[in-house]
Amino acid sequence: MRIASRLAIIVGLALLPTAVLAGNNVSNSGSGISISNNVSGGGTVTQNISVSGNTVQNNGGAGISVNNSVSGTGSQLDQSVNANNNTVSENGGAGISVSNNADSGGTSTTSVTTSGNTVTNNGGGGVAVSNTATGTGSTASATVSSTNDNISNNTGAGVSVTNSASDSGTATASVSTTGSTISGNTGGGISTSNTAASGGTATTGVTTTTVDTSPGGNTVSGTPPAPIVVVNNAAPGATNAVTINNSNPAGSPSPIGVSSSGGGTTTIIP
């Protein structure tokens, strides 16, 4: 069974009530639970998604997939995704995948809250979030909060955030973990990758965006990369900045090891 929702907003205002997907067993050839939004022409979408108590296994694509595309000045998506107490495993793609794309002045904003999930043995990352912003005034942003999750043995990072910005677009992200086990993932525990073309701004950290394990109680390891991996590439005239708070009281290790590469600015909070 596949659960899918597709929304096309051309113009005007859409206020969407909370969509609740609970207690399902989902297995099929594509993504398990798939939600997509397309917003353009100055339209606005406000959306709340709750995915709770599902078993999402053996799907050909991602276990839970959310794809957003926002285009045009004044077009806007505000979305919250809450995934609680799900088992997401043995899927061909990422366990939980969220993608935001903004261009031509559009704004896409998503918050992803995961708690009590088991996300294991998937063919991509455990929780994978990507933001792409192209064009002046375009903004793609995501916040990711993981609490008491088991994100292990995935082919990709346990939690990954990818930001890409060009032509004066802005991509931002924030990752926070509390009491989660993130181990045995091929691409490292927590991974951030920023790419800004000339004139673009891609940020993970810096004032409103961070990678923060300081709430503590996390078990984070990399197989074989460092537990936290930062790739921070900036073209001439672009700005990339990453801020890591890698303290982890009552967790293992404490603090969490960080590897960093690329020409952008990376700051590790002592």
Reported as a single tens digit per residue, the pLDDT across 116-133 is 999 999 999 999 999 999
Residue 66 and residue 35 in contact, taking contact as beta carbons nearer than 8 Å? yes
Give the integer Cα–Cα distance in Å for 85 and 117.
5
List all residues 6 or more positions away from 207 whose beta carbon is below 8 Å from its beta carbon. Answer: none
Domains contained in the chain, number = 1
Give the integer Cα–Cα distance in Å for 20 and 18.
6
Q: Mean pLDDT, the chain, as a whole number?
A: 85
Give yes or no for residue 227 having a pLDDT over 90.
yes
pLDDT at 122: 97
Give yes or no for residue 180 having a pLDDT over 90.
yes
Strand-pair category, 33-40 with 139-147: unpaired
Mean local confidence (pLDDT), 84-109: 96
Give the integer Cα–Cα distance in Å for 99 and 108.
10
Q: Which domain holds residue 244?
A: 3-269
Q: Considering the entire predicted model, what is its pTM?
A: 0.89
